[in-house]
Each structure stands twice: as C-alpha cells, then as structure tokens.
Amino acid sequence: MRSRCCRCRVKMADLLGSILSSMEKPPTVGDQESRRKAREQAARFKKMEEEEKRKKAAFRKKMEKEVSDFIQDSTQQKRKYNPMGKIERSILHDVAEVAGLTSFSFGEDEESRYVMLFKKEFAPSDEELEAYRKGEEWDPQLAEQRRRLKEQAALEEEASRQSDKSEVCPNSNYRDKYSHLIGTSAAKDAAHTLEANQAYGCVPVANKRDTRSIEEAMNAIRAKKRQKLEDDPSAHSSTF
C-alpha cells in the first residue's frame, strides 16, 4: 500500500511540475519597459489624432464664416486665398460647394497651390481660367482687346479668301466672247432629237426618202426594166 501511495504522489508531483513549467513566466524588467513604451506611443498617436480632428473642425468653422461673409458682400465677385495644404484645400472646396459657390485650385507645385472662390452669377470664362492656370493676372480690358484683335484677324482672313476666289473666276463669259463661232444656242437646244425606229434604226423616219420595203423596191425595178424593153425593141434583142 505504501509503495502505491508513493508512486501516486510521485505522479502527482510530476504532473504539477509540468503544469507549472508550462505556465507563462512572469515578465522581466525589459518586457515591462517595452510594454510601457508601446502604451505611451499609442497614447501619443491618439492625442495627435484628436488634435488633428480639432484643427480640422476649427479650420472648417473658420472657412464657413469667411465664405458666409463673402456671399453677403455684394461688392465682391471672387475671392483668392493664400496657398494652403491639400487637406485645407479639400475642406475649403467642400464648404464652397455646400454654400453654392464655384471653386478652383491653381498653382503648378503643391507648395504654391491656392483656392479661388467665384459666385455663381460671376462664374469665370475659359479665358480667365486659362490666365490663372498660366499664373497671370486676369485683366478684362486686355482680354477685350485680344478678343477684338482675333475678330479683326478672322475678318481679314475671310476677306483674303474671298479675294483669292474672285481672282480665279474669269472676268467675262466665254460664250459671249466666242458667240460668233459657237453661236448663241446651247448644244442641247441645237441638237436634233432622234427617235428610234424598228425598221430603220436610229435614223429619223422623216429623213427616209424611200419608205417602201425591199421586195416592193425590187418589184418596181423589174417593172421599169420590162417597160424599157417593151418601149425599145432594139434593147431587147441586144440583151440576147
């Protein structure tokens, strides 16, 4: 009995030892430091995200106030903002769209990109937008001068084409010049109309002098010969 109990206690001890050895060991000093730094870093990220959200909300509120003032100011037709980042431009475009305004971004590189707002009734023309894209200031008077110059150039080009056409056309009608040779009647009017005839082809019937058939013509010729022989007996004897 004692030997069995001893063996059971040994087995229990081995099982307990294996369980204890499989359990996670308590963290060392290095592991605790790593976890502390990870918690601090996560806290900093969360704080930065909250700060970023707060800044975006504050910027949007500021833009909403400026856009509202711009709409109520009847003396302003457009408004140009200083260069700003991509996020700020996106917020300003969204605020302008909600307010019913037209907005565009201009500038070649990211650092110089800026936003311009336009009231709907004063939407920019294609020429104005092209000037802003080129980095030029929009001058309505200069644009009107350019438009007139383009219209004048187009009129001169059209006049030049008309002049070239008039030079190609003859000054006189060749029919009048050579009427003594070709006559005044058109060839179509002067031509004779031919009517096809089954017996005579395309020769007009009126132009046919002898309308008899071949058999009738041959009989007439034989009759003339007989009449000639009867009238001239000498001709009859000479034929034989």
For residue range 52-83, list pLDDT tens digits in order.
999 999 999 999 999 999 999 999 999 999 99
Residue 67 lies in a domain: yes
Q: For residue range 101-148, what is the model confidence (pLDDT) as tens digits?
A: 999 999 888 889 999 999 999 989 888 898 888 888 887 777 777 778
Domain membership of residue 142 (yes or no) is: no
pLDDT score, position 84:
93
Helix locations, the chain, DSSP H: 2-22, 29-72, 86-99, 126-133, 140-168, 174-177, 179-182, 187-190, 214-231, 233-239
Indicate whether 92 belongs to any domain. Answer: yes
Specify the range with the lowest mean pLDDT, choosing from 7-16, 79-88, 92-101, 191-200.
Answer: 191-200
Q: Is the pLDDT of residue 2 over 60?
A: no
Q: What's the whole-number average pLDDT of the chain?
A: 76
More confident residue, 107 or 192: 107
Q: Is 68 helix (H, G, I), strand (E, B) or coil?
A: helix
Residue 93 lies in a domain: yes
Its pTM stands at 0.48
Cα–Cα distance measured from residue 235 to residue 231, given in angstroms and rounded to the nearest whole number: 9
Tally of structural domains, the chain: 1
Distance of CA 46 to the CA centre of its chain: 49
| Residue 2 maps to a domain | no
Residue 22 belongs to some domain of the structure: no
CATH number of the domain within which 102 lies:
3.30.1370.50
- pLDDT of 10 strictly over 70: no
Residue range 39-49: average pLDDT?
89
Q: Residue 160: inside a domain, yes or no?
A: no
Neighbouring residues of 138: CB distance < 8 A, sequence distance ≥ 6 = 124, 128, 131, 132
Confidence check: pLDDT of 152 > 80: yes
Residue 240: the pLDDT is 42
Looking at residue 238, its pLDDT comes to 45
The strand pairing partners of 197, in sequence order, are 201
| Domain housing 80 | 49-124
Asked whether residue 75 is assigned to any structural domain, the reply reads yes
